Amino acid sequence: MWGPAAATDSGGVLMNLTLAAALSLTPPASHETLTWGPCPQDLAAECAKVTVPLDYGDPAGRTIQIAISRVRASDAKHRRGVLLANPGGPGGPGLAFAASLSPAMKQVAAQYDLIGFDPRFIGDSTPITCGTGSGQVWQGSPGFERAGFEQAARQVRDIAKRCGARADVLPHATTRNVARDMDSIREALGEPKLSYYGVSYGADLGAVYTQLFPDRVDRFVLDSSTDPDATQYELFQRTGPRSEAGLDEWAAWTAKHGYGLGGTGAQVRATVTRLLERAAREPIRVGDATVDEHRLPLVLSQLIQQQDENDALARTVRDLVDAADGKKVTPDPALARMLQLLSMKGPVADRWMAGQLAVLCDDGGWPAGGWPRGQERYWHDIQRSRATQPVFGALANAITPCAYWPLRPRESGTRIGNRVPVLMVQARRDVNTVYDGALALHRKLAGSRLVTADLRAHGVYTRRAEGYEPSLCAERLVNSYLAGGPLPAKDVDCGKEDK
Active-site residue set: 200, 430, 458
Instruction: Give CA torsion, residues 355, 361, 363, 365, to 10 deg.
Output: -150
Identity at 351, one-letter amino acid code = R
| Alpha carbon separation from 184 to 56, 90, 177, 219 (Å, rounded) | 11, 19, 10, 18
Closest listed residue to residue 314, CA positions, set 258, 370, 231, 242 = 258
User: What does DSSP assign to residue 127?
Assistant: B
Burial 64-89 (b: 16+ CB within 10 A, else e): bebbbbbbebeeeeeebbbbbbbbbb
Burial of 288 (0-12, 13-18, 19+ CB in 10 A): exposed
> Which residues does residue 53 pair with via DSSP β-bridges, in sequence order?
63
User: What does DSSP assign to residue 63?
Assistant: E
Q: Is 425 left (phi over 0), alpha (psi -120 to 50) or beta?
A: beta
Identity at 430, one-letter amino acid code = D
DSSP assignments along 191-213, one per residue: -SSEEEEEETHHHHHHHHHHHH-
Q: Are 326 and 348 in contact (CB under 8 A)?
A: no
Total Cβ atoms within 10 A of residue 339:
18
> Which residues does residue 81 pair with via DSSP β-bridges, in sequence order?
112
User: What does DSSP assign to residue 25?
Assistant: T
